[in-house]
């Protein structure tokens, strides 16, 4: 089974080397690694060129944002299964992709996801929060919860059947896409009880009050567009759960 791993980047020279090396270190052989870069000017492209033996396909050109870049990468993919690894993230062990592949050997499984850990960007060994998908269920979309998207892998045919990321969302297109896949179309998913991805703390969706307001407004929009009844009073209590995760990072 070929698995397509997709990374989108823009001025990611400080982190993308770790991302590429984590793909290179996987013990699963049939990987198609694709990078779509947004015309970086900081040396990212030079790092990609250094690793062309690892990267099966790559492009660097202007785009209209991360979700357009993700859609480009998905269209370039030829693997049976597709997953996204952000340019400042890396796999938590060398066996992650092989464990994902093993889960998809069951033909009834349409998608898999697991857990991720957030680390201090200045100390990658210091876990500051664990994002567990263990108790997630589709009905939790209405309360602002989704499975950890960086751990989401799905059979590529469903992008053809259900659609790609909506590029008119600024932050929560991943949330809306998962609603379509897991709630509207009820893909059969399997939770993998392991820390699949290590993520540096930060990012657009967690960068300040303004970003969180945009995020939650888009979550509400995504729910309503797909027939889920929700509102701010259902969504905002999720932050109490996030606080608990911060105080109990492991």
Domain definitions of the chain by residue range: 3-247
Is 3-247 a domain of CATH 3.40.710.10?
Answer: no
- Which pTM was predicted? 0.92
pLDDT band at 207 (very low <50, low <70, confident <90, very high): low
- Please give the mean pLDDT across all residues of the chain: 94
DSSP letter, residue 121: T
123-131/81-84 β-pairing: unpaired
Has residue 81 got a pLDDT over 80? Answer: yes
**Mean of the pLDDT values across residues 72-98?**
98
Least confident of 37-51, 168-182, 191-205: 191-205
> How much of the chain, in percent, has pLDDT values that exceed 70?
93
In angstroms, the CA 193 to CA 116 distance is 10
Which pLDDT does position 193 carry in this prediction? 97
In angstroms, the CA 235 to CA 216 distance is 7
pLDDT band at 89 (very low <50, low <70, confident <90, very high): very high
Which pLDDT does position 177 carry in this prediction? 98
Which is more confidently placed, 208 or 85?
85
Which pLDDT does position 66 carry in this prediction? 96
Distance from CA of residue 84 to its chain's centroid?
5
In angstroms, the CA 192 to CA 175 distance is 19
């Amino acid at each position: 089974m070929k698995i397509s791993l997709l990374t989108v980047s823009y001025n990611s020279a400080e982190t993308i080397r770790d991302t590429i090396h984590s793909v290179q270190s996987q013990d699963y052989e049939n990987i198609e690694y694709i990078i779509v870069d947004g015309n970086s000017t900081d040396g990212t492209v030079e790092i990609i060129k250094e690793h062309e033996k690892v990267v099966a396909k790559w492009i660097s050109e202007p785009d209209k944002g991360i979700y357009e870049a993700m859609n480009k990468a998905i269209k370039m993919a030829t693997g049976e299964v597709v997953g996204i690894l952000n340019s400042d993230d890396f796999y938590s062990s060398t066996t992650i992709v092989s464990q994902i592949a093993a889960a998809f050997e069951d033909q009834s499984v349409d998608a898999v996801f697991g857990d991720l850990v957030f680390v201090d960007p200045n100390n990658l060994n210091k876990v500051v929060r664990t994002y567990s998908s263990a108790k997630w269920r589709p009905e939790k979309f209405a309360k602002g919860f989704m499975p950890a998207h960086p751990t989401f892998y799905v059979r590529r045919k469903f992008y053809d059947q259900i659609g790609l990321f909506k590029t008119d969302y600024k932050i929560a297109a991943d949330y809306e896409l998962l609603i379509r896949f897991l709630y509207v179309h009820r893909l059969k998913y399997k939770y993998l009880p392991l820390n699949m991805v290590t993520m540096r703390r930060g990012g657009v969706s967690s960068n300040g009050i303004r970003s969180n307001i945009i995020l939650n407004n888009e979550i509400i929009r995504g729910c309503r567009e797909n027939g889920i009844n929700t509102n701010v009073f259902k969504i905002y209590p999720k932050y109490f759960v996030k606080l608990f995760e911060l105080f109990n990072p492991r």
